[in-house]
Amino acid sequence: MSSAKLLSAFQEAHGHLVARAGSEKSVYLGLVFKSYTLRTTSQFALGYFFLIVLGIAERLISFGIDSIRDKPGQPWRIFPRACLYYVVTMIRYVLMIAIMYVYVEMFLIICLGLALGQILVEAIRYFLMMRRLKRAKLDDGGSSSSLKDSLLESNAHGRPLRSNHVNESCC
């Protein structure tokens, strides 16, 4: 699809949304400390893009929290995990506030951003798992059944044995 066709399709969809929004032809996007009134197609596109990026960032930072492993004798690892959790919590509340304005299309955009972020996280997890399997296969001389079994056991039902922030709900 060419960019001109994509732009015209977005403008047509935006026209239908604005027509349904009422006579003032604008949508209020409230974030925690700042709010915006979206009136034009470019403002809607920018607002939607921002919400999608926030959803992706929330999922990726949650994955980052889980990638900082706890190790005995290294209590300093608590601080970076806590800082990342602080950022993730702020992003989650911003998304929650945006959803609370009961604009269905914005709700769907936020869900899209979170879903895209989760797809990225799952792709990264898969890539890392395959890399560990290849390394174990090289180290064991071709027999990696014990590592493969432990990876499959730990990822049964789609989650590792320990709790993590990636599987935590957004809002």
Q: What is the pLDDT of residue 161?
A: 44
> What are the residue ranges in the chain where pLDDT is below 50?
20-21, 23, 144, 155-163
The two three-digit tokens of residue 118, written as one number: 């989760």
Residue 74: the pLDDT is 82
Residue 171's pLDDT is what? 59
Q: How far is it, in rounded angstroms, from Cα 51 to Cα 25?
A: 20
- The pLDDT assigned to 149 comes to 60
Quote the pLDDT of residue 165: 60
Distance, CA of 171 to CA of 94 (rounded, Å): 10
How much is the pLDDT for 36? 77
Q: Does the model's pTM come out above 0.85?
A: no
